[in-house]
Structure 1
Amino acid sequence: MTDWKSVEAADCAVPADRHMDDLVRELSRALADPDPQVRDGAPYTVLATWIARGTIAASRRLELGDEMAARFTDPRVEARTFAPLVLDMLVEAGDFKPGWVDAFERWYPVERDLRGHDERLGWLHAVAHGADLLAGFGCHPRVAPVRMLDLAAARLMVPTDHVYDQLEDDRLARSIARVLTRTDLSERDAVRWLDPIADRFGAARISTPVPAHLSNCLRTLRLLYILADRGVRPAGELPAQPLHHRDAVKSALAAALDRIVRR
């Protein structure tokens, strides 16, 4: 078993006595480990660094992506919810397969375990981790942006008893905003994904307490309105990028939110 903390401390230098394929297999297993200290610790940092640096060969990265895509059907929630993080690393590094998008699209709206954090398993964060990958795919030139916008709407409309409690609404809103910076989006496509949400709001008979999925959706869209107004920062302190068709998006968001406020 590799001492990944030592590898991390050595600036992620590749251990001289190990074959890279074996190391990647070990890292892949670690990113699905039920122990959060393993899954979300040094192995995560090392894998992210090796992918970003191109330390892992391109062919092996594609195999790793296939492993992560298959992991969306794993019976263990911690395996499913860390798969999008690894795929997002790969996509950001320039790797891509259409099948990864298909697998993600099948998983994201049907995942039922939406806990942000569990005392035993640590971070799970299905919505937030999925949102990161949604942005990665949504900004990729080989993925139609409207496909990811529709997927975000589907995730928001699925009934659940879980109220987002670890800033999942923030992560999802920012990811949607990033997709909406695509300059190849038509004005109609930039707002059409909101139609089923507005229809759901218009048909909703709100009682107290407010149903969890409606609360999640409302808070996500309210933040998205702010991002449409101010722009979204892809990372760090980079200048905010404006949303394409900003005014149309703001108008459509306001109209959708107003459907529920009037009741």
Structure 2
Amino acid sequence: MTDWVQVRENGFAVPEGPPVRELVAELVGMLRSPDPGVRDRQAYSTLATWIDRGVLSEPELRALGDELVPRFADPEIQARTFVPLILDSIVTAGVFEPGWVPPFERWYVGERDLRGYDEKLGWLHAVAHGADLLGALGQHPAVEPVQMLRLGIGRLLTPTPYVFRDMEDDRLGYALAATLTRDDLTGNDVTDWLDPALRVLANPPAEGITPEVTNVVRTLRVLYVFADHGLRIGSAKKLTPIPRREQLKARLADVLRIFTPYWL
């Protein structure tokens, strides 16, 4: 068994001895651990760092993605929610498989456990972790950006008892904004994905404001800020503007005024 605490203390240098594939297999097993120290601080941190540094080859990254995707259906919440984080790293590193997208989409809108932090399990963060992958896919040329925009609004509108409290709205708002920087989006593409939110907010349930409505409003406010000011993509120092930002802002204002007529 590798001393992963020591690996972390050594700046995530690849330990000598075992082949990288064996080390990765060990980390993949640890990635579903209920112990957040093992899962997050050791397995995830090491894998993400190695992927970013180019330690894994393209075939190894593709194999890693293929191995992790079935975990979207895992019975353990922590196993499910750490898959999108690693896939985000893989896609950002330039490796992509179209077959990874449908399982992610099904999981993202269907996940019921939206807790951000659990005292025993640590960070779970399904919405935020999924948003990171959504943003990476939304910027990938092989993925239709509208597909990711619709996925984001679908996640927001799915009924839930959970009101975002751990910056999920910021993470998803950023992912939507990153997707909207695609220059192949038409004017209708930039606005039409918001139509489901407009319909839902225009017909509020009799019992009052539901958690998903609150989540929609908060996330779209975040998106409005990005549309107004631009956003930093990756490690870029300059802000990237959303190409059709005035059209987007006008539509966002239409949606947000339904519940907050004094806003904008």
TM-score by length of 2: 0.95
How many Å separate the matches in 2 of 1:237 and 1:165?
28
Q: Deviations over 1:206-257 (max 9, x none)?
A: 655x311111111001111111111112235622111121011001101111
Partner in structure 1 of residue 173 of structure 2: 173
Any idea what SS the aligned residue of 1:72 has? helix
Q: Could you tell me whether the CA contact under 8 Å between 1:73 and 1:80 is conserved in 2?
A: yes
CA RMSD after TM alignment:
1.4
Q: Deviations over 1:102-153 (max 9, x none)?
A: 1111110110000000000000000000000000000001001000000001
Task: Give the letter aligned to residue 65 of structure 1.
Answer: G
TM-score by length of 1: 0.95
Task: Give the letter aligned to residue 257 of structure 1.
Answer: L
Offset at 1:43?
2.4
Which is worse superposed, 41-50 or 189-198?
A: 41-50
Report % sequence identity.
48
How many Å separate the matches in 1 of 2:260 and 2:9?
53
Partner in structure 2 of residue 256 of structure 1: 255
Partner in structure 2 of residue 183 of structure 1: 183
Task: Give the letter aligned to residue 168 of structure 1.
Answer: E
Offset at 1:22?
1.2
Task: Give the letter aligned to residue 223 of structure 2.
Answer: L
Q: Deviations over 1:160-208 (max 9, x none)?
A: 0001110101110011001011111011001110001101111114655
Partner in structure 2 of residue 25 of structure 1: 25
Task: Give the letter aligned to residue 138 of structure 1.
Answer: G
Equivalent residue runs for 1:79-90 within 5 Å? 79-90=79-90
Task: Give the letter aligned to residue 177 of structure 1.
Answer: A
Task: Give the letter aligned to residue 255 of structure 2.
Answer: A
How many Å separate the matches in 2 of 1:247 and 1:14?
48
Q: Could you tell me whether the CA contact under 8 Å between 1:201 and 1:260 is conserved in 2?
A: yes
Which is worse superposed, 49-58 or 240-249?
A: 49-58
1:103 partnered with 2:103: yes
Report the CA distance shift for 1:121/1:92 in structure 2 as closer, same or farther (over 3 A): same
- Segments of 5+ residues of structure 2 without an aligned counterpart are none
Q: How many residues align?
A: 261
Partner in structure 1 of residue 127 of structure 2: 127
Equivalent residue runs for 1:27-42 within 5 Å? 27-42=27-42
Q: Deviations over 1:41-79 (max 9, x none)?
A: 122222112111221222121111012211100010000
1:46 partnered with 2:39: no
